[in-house]
Amino acid sequence: MSGNAVNMSDHVGSWDVPLSDGVHIVDFEHGTTSGKRIIRVDGTEVIRKDWMFKLVGAEQFDISEHPCTIRISPMGSFAYKYTLEVDGKSYKKFTERQSRVLQTWIVPLEGQMYRVVLEKDTLDVWVNGQRQETAGEFVDDGTETHFQIEGHAAYVKTVSSGKRREGILHTLIVDQSEVPEAADY
């Protein structure tokens, strides 16, 4: 078996972690007879421990400077519960927060797909995992955050919805055309 292959009999957990630089896939293997623990992020092994005599505990690692912990807890005889924490929050709470603070668009340009992410809390713009140099500009009805995607003029227009429940609206414009928001991160 190659170094990146996943042993399905020991594969006990998989999580999609949405971050500004992309959605990262965390896979966890736990050999309950050998105590083996393997953590892979996007297919690359980040932790390998063989012959662990203590079958419960925690493993810590980072994804793009975000601290993560996989906790192994007992659930009766020879059964285990596996939980992921990111930035000190449960996976569920972390992904709920990310869905509120990240807005994502998928932009097709010249046969290529570009993933554009706006961090609503910082107004940072990311294109395919790279933070972009931006220039902010006040306009009559809000602000525009300008940047380039492979030489194409782009900006995020930020306006108030005028409705308290909706709050602030963000729209991506590339080459003078509005891009629909992506359905998933």
pTM score of the predicted model: 0.81
Q: Would you give the DSSP letter of residue 132?
A: P
**Annotated domain spans of the chain:** 11-87, 101-179
- The whole-angstrom distance between residue 173's C-alpha and the CA centroid of its chain comes to 23
CATH 2.40.128.180 fits 11-87, yes or no: yes
CB count within 10 Å of CB 105 equals: 20
The alpha-carbon radius of gyration of the chain (Å, integer) is 21
Q: What is the pLDDT along the chain (185 residues), one digit of tens a residue?
A: 334 555 567 999 999 999 999 999 999 999 988 889 999 999 999 999 998 788 889 999 999 999 999 999 998 877 899 999 999 999 999 999 998 899 999 999 999 999 999 999 899 999 999 999 999 999 998 999 999 999 999 999 999 888 877 788 999 999 999 999 987 65
CATH architecture of 101-179: Beta Barrel (2.40)
